């Protein structure tokens, strides 16, 4: 998987080849806005070329408007607001927000589209393909397709297939969340459900509280909607409530935050879950300041059902619960859902209709079959056992390679301190064929960090950890 060296026998010069390689990474978002390019000396050593060749390649990137030089600091990828030089000047509307997009919010999404047979990548957020049950998926689809009736010939119900919503209500009851089928709205994945809620309850310019560290795509999604992202530090028990309260009260009365978006169970990236005490205090704060809590329970299938859910404690009064199945069943079945207070449901259905009309009936019916027959529950139990074993092995590998877990290992993800800047490390590992998730991806604004997120299920390769040690040594030799 190691990237080939530049070719000295090629028709194109080494300078052109090196500049093209970096330009492709920038355009593919593998090098994101704000990312620092390797130093001239480091790049020359890595690609076995002269420093003069590197300088000339970087000059080409400067001329193309892809990077910028910062005195005494090096070369950095230009932000999306910077038009390539030579592009025609056009009047553009004023931006809706001032919140900077996080570093490479789409990098990990692009990384999910791997060719069949590609090696597991430590930075991805999905299970390995061979952990999933293709037979279960195929059987469920065949079951509902043998007697499709009108479901396959017309739009589905606006709120989602009634059969699935009934099955979801039963599933939620197992988690302590009491929701009638009429309170449930299906969506095209959990991210779409989050988008439905946000578009319904907030408008451009509003403030939204989020966990930090947190999901980079969520930061980018909120910022793209013109919302002001207010990060709340997330600890092992839950959010820092003192900081949350200060953030709320620092805003003028008419501009107070409308929403708090949080992953209460198996938080991404730390794996922490909200304590019962913190959950009660979050709900008290929401009541006092008229906040709606959007609870993203994407990782529910990897967690014990007894862990506190805000929607269960709140009885869906000022909480909207969001769930999905792409993590446990298959990423290609884009089926998500939300459960909401009755007074909000019609507005949420309207927002859904404006974004996707309805959702795919046949997929929803197949998922209902999996829930009704206990097929998904049994599959999830098997995956949990595999994940427990993988987590144990991954922790041993972390420790054996002089890294440290910065949070107690739980669920799918580990939050690991490797002792060096993981953004620089990510570029060295990318040369070696490994995609990691540097900690900068999980902050609302760019900041260097020695942390990275690993997927316990996809970090079983000792080859990856040896590559990490080599890259870390290279960085130490160049510092």
Burial of 41 (0-12, 13-18, 19+ CB in 10 A): exposed
> Comparing C-alpha atoms, which of 225, 177, 224, 218 is closest to residue 200?
225
> Does the pLDDT value for residue 143 go beyond 60?
yes
pTM metric for this prediction: 0.81
> Comparing C-alpha atoms, which of 414, 426, 408 is closest to residue 390?
414
> What is the Cα–Cα distance from 275 to 265, expressed in whole angstroms?
9
Range name among 104-108, 307-311, 451-455 with the lowest pLDDT average: 104-108
> What is the Cα–Cα distance from 211 to 217, expressed in whole angstroms?
13
> Comparing C-alpha atoms, which of 354, 369, 352 is closest to residue 160?
352
Residues 232-251: tens digit of each pLDDT: 999 999 999 999 999 999 98
Indicate the pLDDT class of residue 212, thresholds 50, 70 and 90.
Answer: very high
Residues 171-192: tens digit of each pLDDT: 999 999 999 999 999 999 999 9
Residues 417, 403 contacting (CB under 8 angstroms): yes
Indicate the pLDDT class of residue 1, thresholds 50, 70 and 90.
Answer: very low
Pick the residue with more confidence: 140 or 5? 140
Going by their DSSP bridges, the two strands 259-262 and 207-212 should be labelled as parallel
Residues 452, 270 contacting (CB under 8 angstroms): no
CATH topology of domain 107-125+377-478: 3.90.1150
> What is the Cα–Cα distance from 407 to 235, expressed in whole angstroms?
9
> Does the pLDDT value for residue 100 go beyond 60?
no
75: β partners: 69
> What is the sign, positive or negative, of the torsion defined by CA atoms of 213, 218, 219, 220?
positive
Residues 329-360: tens digit of each pLDDT: 988 888 999 999 999 999 999 999 999 888 98
Kindly state the average pLDDT of the residues 95-102: 36
> Comparing C-alpha atoms, which of 166, 124, 66 is closest to residue 369?
166
Nearest-5° angle of CA 158, CA 163, CA 164?
A: 75
Model pLDDT, residue 85: 43
Catalogue the E-assigned strands of 219-349: 228-233, 259-262, 292-296, 319-324, 336-339
**Residue 406 CA neighbour count, 13 Å, CB half:** 18
Kindly state the average pLDDT of the residues 49-57: 91
- State both tokens at 378: 């049994």
> Does the pLDDT value for residue 292 go beyond 70?
yes
Domain 14-77, CATH number (from 3.40.630.40, 3.40.47.10, 1.10.10.10, 3.40.50.1220): 1.10.10.10
Model pLDDT, residue 287: 95
228-233 sheet: strands from edge to edge:
184-187, 336-339, 319-324, 292-296, 259-262, 207-212, 228-233
Do 14-77 and 134-373 share a fold?
no
Q: Whats the size of the chain, residue-wise?
A: 479
Range name among 34-48, 95-109, 357-371 with the lowest pLDDT average: 95-109
Indicate the pLDDT class of residue 231, thresholds 50, 70 and 90.
Answer: very high
239: β partners: 234
Pick the residue with more confidence: 34 or 473? 473
Kindly state the average pLDDT of the residues 143-150: 72
Burial of 7 (0-12, 13-18, 19+ CB in 10 A): exposed
Model pLDDT, residue 82: 41
> Comparing C-alpha atoms, which of 163, 159, 137 is closest to residue 149?
163
Residues 387-427: tens digit of each pLDDT: 999 999 999 999 999 999 999 999 999 999 999 999 889 88
Unique residue bearing structure tokens 């960085």: 475
> What is the Cα–Cα distance from 359 to 370, expressed in whole angstroms?
18
* Structural domain 134-373, CATH architecture: 3-Layer(aba) Sandwich (3.40)
Rounding to the nearest 10 degrees, give the CA dihedral for residues 408, 418, 447, 228.
Answer: -30
Q: Using DSSP, state whether 460 is helix, strand or coil.
A: coil
Indicate the pLDDT class of residue 107, thresholds 50, 70 and 90.
Answer: low
Give the residue extent of every domain in the chain: 14-77, 107-125+377-478, 134-373
Model pLDDT, residue 2: 44
């Amino acid at each position: 998987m190691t990237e080939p060296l530049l070719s000295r026998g090629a028709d194109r010069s080494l300078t052109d080849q090196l500049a093209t390689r970096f330009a492709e990474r920038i355009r593919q978002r593998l090098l994101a806005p704000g990312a620092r390019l390797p130093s001239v000396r480091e790049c020359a050593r890595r690609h076995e070329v002269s420093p003069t060749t590197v300088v000339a390649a970087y000059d080409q990137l400067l001329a193309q408007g892809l990077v910028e030089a910062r005195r005494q600091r090096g070369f950095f990828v230009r932000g999306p607001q910077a038009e390539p030089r030579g592009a025609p000047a056009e009047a553009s509307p004023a931006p809706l927000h001032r919140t900077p997009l996080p570093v490479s919010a789409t990098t990990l999404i692009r990384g999910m589209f791997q060719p069949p047979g590609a090696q597991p990548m430590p930075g991805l957020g999905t299970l390995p393909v061979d952990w999933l049950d293709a037979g279960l998926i195929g059987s469920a689809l065949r079951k509902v397709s043998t007697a499709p009736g009108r479901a396959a010939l017309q739009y589905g119900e606006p709120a989602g297939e009634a059969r699935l919503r009934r099955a979801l209500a039963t599933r939620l009851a197992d988690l302590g969340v009491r929701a009638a089928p009429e309170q449930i709205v299906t969506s095209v994945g959990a991210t779409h459900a989050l988008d439905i809620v946000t578009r319904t309850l907030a408008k451009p310019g509003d403030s939204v509280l989020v966990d930090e560290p947190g999901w980079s795509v969520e930061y980018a999604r909120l910022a793209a909607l013109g919302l002001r992202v207010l990060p709340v530090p997330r600890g092992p028990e839950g959010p820092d409530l003192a900081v949350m309260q200060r953030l709320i009260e620092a805003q003028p009365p008419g501009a107070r935050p409308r929403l708090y978006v949080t992953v209460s169970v198996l938080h991404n990236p730390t794996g922490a879950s909200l304590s019962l005490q913190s959950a009660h205090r979050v709900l008290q704060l929401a009541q006092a300041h008229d906040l709606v809590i959007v609870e993203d329970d994407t990782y529910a299938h990897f967690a014990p059902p007894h862990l506190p859910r805000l929607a269960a404690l709140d009885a869906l009064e000022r909480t909207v619960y969001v769930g999905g199945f792409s993590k446990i069943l298959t990423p290609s079945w884009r089926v998500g859902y939300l459960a909401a207070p009755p007074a909000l449901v019609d507005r949420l259905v309207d927002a859904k209709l404006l974004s996707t009309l309805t959702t795919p009936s046949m997929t929803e019916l197949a998922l209902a079959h999996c829930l009704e027959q206990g097929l998904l529950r049994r599959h999830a139990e098997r995956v949990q056992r595999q994940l427990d074993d993988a987590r144990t092995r991954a922790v041993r590998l972390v420790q054996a390679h002089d890294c440290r877990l910065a949070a107690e290992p739980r669920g799918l993800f580990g939050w690991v301190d490797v002792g060096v800047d993981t953004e620089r490390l990510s570029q060295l590992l990318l040369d070696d064929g490994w995609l990691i998730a540097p900690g900068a991806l999980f902050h609302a604004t760019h900041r260097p960090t020695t942390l990275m997120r690993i997927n316990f299920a996809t970090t079983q390769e000792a080859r990856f950890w040896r590559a990490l040690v080599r890259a870390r040594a290279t960085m130490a030799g160049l510092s």
